């Protein structure tokens, strides 16, 4: 069977990353996956050659308007749209179409949390696209609806998960996460201009006000002994891609570095996209750029009796587009790793 795939919001950073990965997917090479409609409301009528010259295989294609009519007739539809736009489109496409949403519309289970952080009516909840969370891979296999997680929650969840599940820490997390400017999307914005970001680092949405905070708590709570508390502050850095999160939490009595290393290594032993670094080696964003990998390290601070976890990933790959393709693979029955790079470019 040949699966026909459409991308709504194809000219955005998330849509472009999904296309980059699909063009290198073995199913695309074999003819089992066909790239159909590429939509982008503000860019309709323009060519891919003009808008995304890094995708020469699609240079002769034209962007069409984001309408249900243009997206209909596909087996898989990726939605790379602003928050709040996915629900009506998904409903109109019907239940037989695999819809993979890269926005936040269907991530949260708690309707009140959605309304508090996003200020609109809750659209519902879909299977959540972090396969590495216990029980989630099974939910995603064959699913016709997938909510791709936020890039910050993926970084923080994968970093903290072994410590919370392994009962290594008290579930009181302080998180600082540094991100590249592409996390804000491909839009004209003065704070994201080169002149505003180069040579400067800036914190924003501090201490629990960022929209991704409830998503992290939702992910970790089912595995914790007590309700998880998260104080999260993001930091904007002058780089195109990448997230580096530092997660600090009180260490339980008697826990040693050897035990922490063992728990983290064993937890991710069978996960192809989670790499626990040796003791003394720290994650770097340059080592995950363009890959679907998350690099993780956990360090015991003996003096303060804290566990300091660092995790790094590419916000556009494992943080968005790669996660979307990984979930598509699970939905359609392809190998989960198909089309997803493990190795970065160096230097």
Q: Which residues are catalytic?
A: 151
Tally of CB atoms within 10 A around 39: 25
The interaxial angle of helices 13-23 and 322-332, nearest 10 deg, is 50
C-beta of residue 291 within 8 angstroms of C-beta of residue 317: yes
C-beta of residue 102 within 8 angstroms of C-beta of residue 320: yes
Q: Of 153, 158, 152, 99, which is closest to residue 324 (Cα–Cα)?
A: 99
- The 3-state secondary structure of 39-97 reads ECHHHCCCEHHHHCCCCHHHCCCECECCCHHHHCCCCEEEECCCCCCHHHHHHHHCCCC
| Phi and psi at residue 201, to the nearest 5° | -125, 135
């Amino acid at each position: 069977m040949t699966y026909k795939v459409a991308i709504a919001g194809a000219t955005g950073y998330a849509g472009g990353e999904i296309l980059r990965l699909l063009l290198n997917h073995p199913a695309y090479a074999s003819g089992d996956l066909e790239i159909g409609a590429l939509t982008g409301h503000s860019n309709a009528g323009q060519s891919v050659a003009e808008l995304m010259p890094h995708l020469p295989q699609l240079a002769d294609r034209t962007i069409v308007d984001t309408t249900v009519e243009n997206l209909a007739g596909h087996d898989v539809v990726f939605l790379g749209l602003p928050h709040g736009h996915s629900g009506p489109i998904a409903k109109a496409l019907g239940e037989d179409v695999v819809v993979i949403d890269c926005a936040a519309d269907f991530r949260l289970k708690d309707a009140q949390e959605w309304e508090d952080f996003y200020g609109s009516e809750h659209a519902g909840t879909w299977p959540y696209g972090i396969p590495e969370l216990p029980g989630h891979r099974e939910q995603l296999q064959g699913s016709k609806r997938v909510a791709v997680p936020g890039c910050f929650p993926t970084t923080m969840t994968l970093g903290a998960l072994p410590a919370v599940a392994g009962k290594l820490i008290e579930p009181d997390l302080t998180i600082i996460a540094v991100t590249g400017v592409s996390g804000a999307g491909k839009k004209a914005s003065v704070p994201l201009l080169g002149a505003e970001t180069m040579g400067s680092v800036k914190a924003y949405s501090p201490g629990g006000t960022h929209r991704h905070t409830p998503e992290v708590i939702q992910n970790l709570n089912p595995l914790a002994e007590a309700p998880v508390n998260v104080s999260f502050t993001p930091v904007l850095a002058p780089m195109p891609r990448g997230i580096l999160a530092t997660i600090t939490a009180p260490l339980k009595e008697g826990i040693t570095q050897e035990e922490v290393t063992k728990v983290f290594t064993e937890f991710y032993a069978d996960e192809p996209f989670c790499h626990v670094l040796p003791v003394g080696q720290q994650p770097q964003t340059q080592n995950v750029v363009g890959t679907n990998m998350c690099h993780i390290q956990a360090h015991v601070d003996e003096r303060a009796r804290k566990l300091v976890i660092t995790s790094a990933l590419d916000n556009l790959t494992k943080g968005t587009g790669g996660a979307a393709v990984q979930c598509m693979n699970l939905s359609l029955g392809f190998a989960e790793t198909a089309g997803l790079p493990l190795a970065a470019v160096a230097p």
